[in-house]
Amino acid sequence: MPPRGLHLKRPRRITTIVLVTIAVIIGICGVSFRLWYSWITTPPGRIAAAQPAGAMIDGPRMAAEWEPATGVLIAWPFRLPRELVVALASDVQLHITVKDDTSLRQAASTLASWDIPAEAYTFIETPQGDGWYGTRDWGPFAVFDSSGDCHLTDAHYIDYPVSDPGSNDTIYWLTKIEDLDFRPDDQAPAAVAEALHLPRIELPFALTGGAVATDGRGTAFITESVIRENEALGVPKDRFLEAAEAMLGIERFIVLPNYEELGVHHIDCLLALLDAERILVKRPPRDHPQYTHVERVVEVLSRQLTPSGKPYDILRVDTPRYDDDRLANYTNALLLNQTVYVPLFGIDADAQALDTWRRAMPGYQVLGFNYGGEDGWTYTDALHCRTKAIWKANADQ
């Protein structure tokens, strides 16, 4: 879910054939295909085998999304519809990242024109790269210690690994395919932590926010892509798992098969964790290339047990096409306090998706937000990708 569709200004999905075709064209211009292919498949760097920076957390517990929050992290320029920003501001504090004073003034003017009071938001000046608006991915994880104090943990935000469903296929790197730079965004969590007056710990691995879902009880869900990404960046699987347990309190990773024909396989474009016992999983049309892969994911999930030792209750939401082969990204919704914010795609299935969410989340308010156009929701980048909850400094307060 790069800035994802970052809009990955690309056809329905990148395919090996497309990449080879591009390479042949480049080759005709005198550039070696072998050199070009080597370039886009060479990892952008390596993560040093070092201890994480900052004090270790005593009894770490990574927050679950449904836990009570006080704020939400979003970025200016907004790639969010006005109605969503207004709705969020009515529930929690908006923490808005801006690049500089000029951006701050522009954002303040827009918010005033939307009748959002100044006390409803704060600005945080951060570096901004090509992933600036994807606060879910570069934003820090909230981890509580044994005393209930909140720490922000900051994983490496280097690149997006693009791969096939198989676990041993070639990885293409998005920054090289699309000529993107996420290095400024990788520096942004430090500014966020400083503005929120929270301690920050640098994690010795890569883990974008959309690639993981956690239940707040020591279990997290990822796809195979996360393991392969870290291995390519010099972090072996065992080191990744050990560090995640020590720093995030993740005692069990449920590693699911990759599900896109060629993509980044982010978990929040596949499923939504509703609570520690229930999971909402997308259901593509039977004739869609993802169908078989997603059903394989469901099969794997059906064999897993919840923290209480019961099988997971697996719910489904239909995700039909909204444009060519692109699927409506209804699992990419934000659970914030007692509200579910759902992305809509301007198709008849939107109403059914909202009904599915309402039946799945009794007691919650379920709101839908359409956002089309060039900067709108996509099958790999929607509402959840562009928002991230902020919690109290102490969970017991």
CATH code at position 299:
3.75.10.10
Say what the pLDDT of residue 30 is: 55
Q: Are 145 and 57 in contact (CB under 8 A)?
A: yes
| 396: in domain | no
Domain assignment of residue 96, yes or no: yes
Q: What share of the chain is helix, strand, coil (3-state, %, to 5)?
A: 30, 25, 45
Q: What value does the CA radius of gyration of the chain take, rounded to a whole number of Å?
A: 20
Q: What is the pLDDT of residue 36?
A: 73
pLDDT tens per residue, range 187-210: 999 999 999 999 999 999 999 999
Compute, in degrees rounded to 10, the torsion defined by CA atoms 200, 205, 210, 213: -90
Q: In sequence order, which ranges of the chain are alpha helices (DSSP H)? A: 16-28, 33-41, 82-89, 101-113, 135-138, 174-178, 183-196, 224-232, 237-248, 291-302, 349-360
At 188, give phi and psi (nearest 5°): -65, -35
Residue 57 lies in a domain: yes
The reply to whether 6 falls in a domain is no
Length of the chain: 397
Residue 279: the pLDDT is 98
In whole angstroms, what is the distance from residue 58 CA to residue 48 CA? 24
> Considering the domain boundaries, does residue 77 fall inside one?
yes
Domain count, the chain: 1
Strands 172-173 and 200-206: unpaired
* 71 located within any domain: yes
- Give the residue-averaged pLDDT of 274-283: 98
Q: Is residue 83 part of a domain?
A: yes
In a domain, 350, yes or no: yes
For 326-340, what is each residue's pLDDT tens digit? 999 999 999 999 999
Range of the domain at 69: 16-390
Residue type (1 letter), 395: A
Tell me: pLDDT of 277 over 90. yes
